[in-house]
Amino acid sequence: MSAGEEGIFVRLEEPEDVARVFEINVAAFGRRDEAELTDRLRAEVSPLIAHVATRGSESGPVIGCSMWSPVEIRGEIRGEEHSPQGYTSSAFALGPIAVWPEEQKKGIGGLLMRAGFDACREAGELLLFLLGHPTYYPRFGFRPAWEHGLWYGGMRGPNPAFMYKELAEGALADRKGEVVYSLPFRDV
């Protein structure tokens, strides 16, 4: 799909990558929760954008992986509470993203992020969310979501780790409210 510097490629995940993606998530996070999340997202959530980073060629060793999947924004628009039927709209959220420990800090996470942006845009989704390190993701244009009246998991109030990005200016518009992740995320 895309070739980065030093022979790193990013392509869509294939069924034969699944075991390796599990292994990379366990190694990167030091626990099984995110790895198990990848299995559940594949089984339960659609659409799912799953990428792997490989070395040397697209069929080379897999050294990183990422997933994007839908979230729902439930809530207020133009300051009004939603009706009992609910005002809802959709966006995509990142998670998990992981790079094999010995391969970190070489720009591979950045390549995965940019491939994800392209794929989300192609899928017609211009508003993205993630929960992550407040010092890493601003370099990709992510900003704190709470400043725009968006929160997740009942955690209303300042939360620098929950961030949004517009792939096109105005994608957020005046959407405010709770961002609801799919069930597999809520069980992690």
Q: Which residues bind ligand COA (CB under 6 A)?
A: 28-29, 97-99, 104-110, 132-133, 135-136
Report in angstroms how near the CB of residue 143 gets to ligand COA at its nearest: 16
Is the CB of 64 or the CB of 177 nearer to ligand COA?
64
Cβ closest to ligand COA, residue 107 vs residue 149? 107
The minimum distance between CB 79 and ligand COA, in angstroms, equals 31
Chain residue at closest Cβ approach to ligand COA: 109
The least distance separating ligand COA from the CB of residue 76, rounded to whole angstroms, comes to: 27
Residue 89 or 104 with smaller CB distance to ligand COA:
104
Q: b/e per residue, 156-180, with b = 16+ CB within 10 A?
A: eeebeebbbbbeeeeebeebbbbbb
Give the residue with the Cβ less far from ligand COA, 67 or 126: 67
Give the distance, in angstroms, between the CA of residue 150 and the centroid of all CA atoms in the same chain.
16
Cα–Cα distance measured from residue 137 to residue 131, given in angstroms and rounded to the nearest whole number: 9
Q: Cβ of residue 80: shortest distance to ligand COA, in angstroms?
A: 33
Q: Where are the beta strands (DSSP E) in 5-120?
A: 8-12, 49-55, 62-74, 88-99
> Alpha-carbon distance 59 to 62, whole Å?
8
Nearer Cβ to ligand COA, position 25 or 150?
Answer: 25
Cα distances (angstroms) measured from residue 117 to each of 21, 69, 110, 155, 188: 20, 12, 11, 26, 24
Give min distance, CB of 29 to ligand COA, in A. Answer: 5
